């Protein structure tokens, strides 16, 4: 645990008592703060009382008397579509609002570091897609190369749940827009921006607000090194804002598909990763047979992880060896099994149109299972990739509307995962890939994308065992 610094003897309120809120309350108490908590749900309040915390209804007038700060869990809106009443009340009373990420960055460094030979480092990864894979891959590469490392944030452990840093340790954080948007302190040593596409538009009041939340990691944090995906205008904008010129090696530009030779760059084309510095190639990896990183989108993730690890002094050969042993993450291009020449791939994490499109480009002869709770923007961006799809099997509450938008596709409206897997298996022939890449949120039928992926795997296992 990381005890929170700066609040000893002060009254601090925590709003939301899920995993993040409970960890924040514990870390605040460990740092000597007087912690009061509130949750809108009776279950959360009961859990907090069982943990020994005092409840304070933060939505009532005068609740913030004597409160030094309000710490908010990431799922609670703080601005759009509308601020939570407790947050609005904190604003009115002049009480600073922060989150666990802000607490982490103000508390991670300790006086113990003066005795370390090598200061601990923080690598923070954000972007629309590929954050989890990139963060997990960086962590895997570090560990395989003998570097002490912890993985936390939106993946692995909560940021305040990790152990205090050891000499030379690297903490790898995956940070969502919900987390970067509110944190009052953002000071990573290395910041990574994977890519950008529309997502969470209601929470950020549109594409501009969503981008602004991502950009804060670079604009507010001032990292020593920035690894920026430049395949979209937003990434090119950030890299230009941070760089003092083409040869400024504080910025490493990454790409999947385009060659970059100016400055420090890492890019992948046709499955080959190349690193260029000052116009010369200094490293390369053939990624085509790395099982844990299939497809161009994962090659982009590989470029980001490679670049981040190079900033820490790791060599290309050590990085490549670790990439080849990377097992991949559950629900992200995860090979579930194979039978009679048909492969089954679980990409339940493809919760938006852009991530689903990238999943479709990674395979041929696809039996595509998709559908769920649609996000803003429609499905038009998927249409250019339907030439890889043999047939589509649509699930979810909005299955019929989803199928209508896939113009020209051979669609079967299945409704449930069980029916979709059954139909796909019945239609599949050797060489096909049955791919779950929903392009939608899961909440119409499942509690999470993990539960959706687990259902897919269970249905597949039942049929191929």
Residues annotated within a binding site for ATP: 127-133
- Angle at 460 (CA atoms; ends 459, 462), nearest 5 degrees: 65
Task: Read off the tokens for 402.
Answer: 């989803």
- State the binding site: 127-133
Q: Are 105 and 187 in contact (CB under 8 A)?
A: yes
- Cα–Cα distances (Å) from 383 to 139, 241, 375, 378, 409, in that order, read 35, 34, 16, 11, 9
DSSP labels for 402-424? HHHHSTT--EEEEESHHHHHHHH
Tokens of 123: 């690598």
Token reading at 187: 């000071």
Burial tier of 50 (Cβ tally within 10 Å: 0-12, 13-18, 19+): exposed
Helix H or strand E segment including 283 = strand 280-286
Residue 460 dihedral angles phi and psi, to the nearest 5°:
-65, -45
Q: Is the dihedral of CA 288, 294, 300, 305 positive or negative?
A: negative
Contact 344, 338 (CB under 8 A): yes
Distance CA 171, CA 159 (A): 9
The side-by-side arrangement of strands in the sheet containing 97-98 is: 54-55, 34-38, 11-15, 67-72, 97-98
Packing angle of the helix pair 207-219, 233-242 (nearest 10 deg)? 30
* Partners of residue 345 on adjacent β-strands: 335, 435
**What's the full length of the chain, in residues?**
465
Q: Which two tokens stand for residue 246?
A: 């083409």
Cβ partners under 8 Å of residue 125, min gap 6 = 131, 134, 135, 138, 172, 173, 174, 175, 191, 192, 194, 304, 308
Instruction: Give the 3-state secondary structure of residue 88.
Output: helix
Side-chain half-sphere of 85: how many Cα atoms within 13 Å? 10
């Amino acid at each position: 645990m990381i005890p929170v610094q700066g609040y000893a003897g002060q009254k601090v309120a925590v709003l939301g008592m899920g995993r993040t809120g409970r960890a924040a309350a514990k870390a605040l108490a460990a740092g000597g703060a007087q912690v009061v908590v509130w949750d809108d749900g009776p279950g959360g309040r009961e859990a907090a009382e069982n943990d020994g915390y005092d409840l304070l209804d933060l939505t009532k007038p005068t609740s913030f008397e004597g409160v030094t700060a309000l710490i908010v869990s990431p799922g609670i809106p703080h601005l759009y579509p509308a601020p939570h009443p407790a947050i609005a009340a904190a604003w009115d009373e002049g009480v600073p609002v922060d989150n666990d990420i802000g607490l982490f960055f103000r508390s991670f460094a300790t006086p113990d570091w003066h005795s370390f030979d090598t200061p601990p480092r923080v690598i923070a990864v954000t972007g629309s897609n590929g954050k989890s894979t990139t963060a997990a891959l960086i962590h895997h590469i570090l560990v395989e190369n003998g570097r002490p490392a912890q993985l936390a944030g939106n993946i692995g452990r909560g940021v305040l749940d990790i152990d205090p840093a050891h000499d030379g340790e690297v903490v790898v954080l995956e940070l969502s827009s919900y987390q970067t948007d509110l944190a009052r302190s953002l000071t990573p040593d290395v910041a990574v921006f994977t890519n950008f596409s529309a997502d969470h538009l209601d929470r950020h009041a549109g594409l501009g607000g969503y981008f602004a939340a991502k950009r804060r990691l670079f604009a507010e944090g001032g990292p020593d090194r920035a690894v920026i995906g430049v395949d979209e205008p937003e990434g090119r904008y950030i890299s230009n804002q941070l760089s003092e010129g083409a040869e400024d090696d504080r910025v490493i530009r990454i790409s999947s598909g385009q060659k970059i030779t100016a400055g420090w760059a890492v890019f992948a084309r046709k499955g080959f990763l190349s690193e260029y510095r000052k116009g010369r190639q200094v490293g390369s990896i053939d990624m085509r047979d790395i099982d844990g990183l299939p497809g161009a989108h994962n090659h982009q993730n590989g470029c980001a992880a490679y670049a981040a690890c190079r900033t820490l002094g790791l060599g290309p050969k050590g990085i490549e060896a670790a990439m080849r042993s990377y097992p991949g993450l559950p629900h992200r291009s995860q090979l579930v099994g194979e039978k009679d020449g048909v492969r089954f791939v679980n990409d339940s994490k493809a919760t938006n149109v852009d991530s689903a499109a990238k999943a479709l480009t990674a395979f041929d002869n696809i039996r595509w299972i998709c559908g769920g709770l649609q996000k803003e923007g429609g499905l038009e961006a998927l249409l250019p990739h339907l030439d890889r799809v043999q047939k589509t099997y649509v699930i979810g509450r909005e299955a019929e509307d989803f199928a209508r938008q896939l113009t020209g596709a051979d669609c079967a409206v299945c409704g449930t995962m069980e029916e979709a897997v059954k139909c796909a298996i019945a239609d599949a022939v050797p060489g096909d890939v049955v791919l779950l890449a929903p392009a939608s949120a899961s909440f119409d039928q499942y509690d999470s994308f993990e539960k959706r992926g687990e259902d897919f795997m269970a249905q597949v296992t039942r049929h191929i065992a």
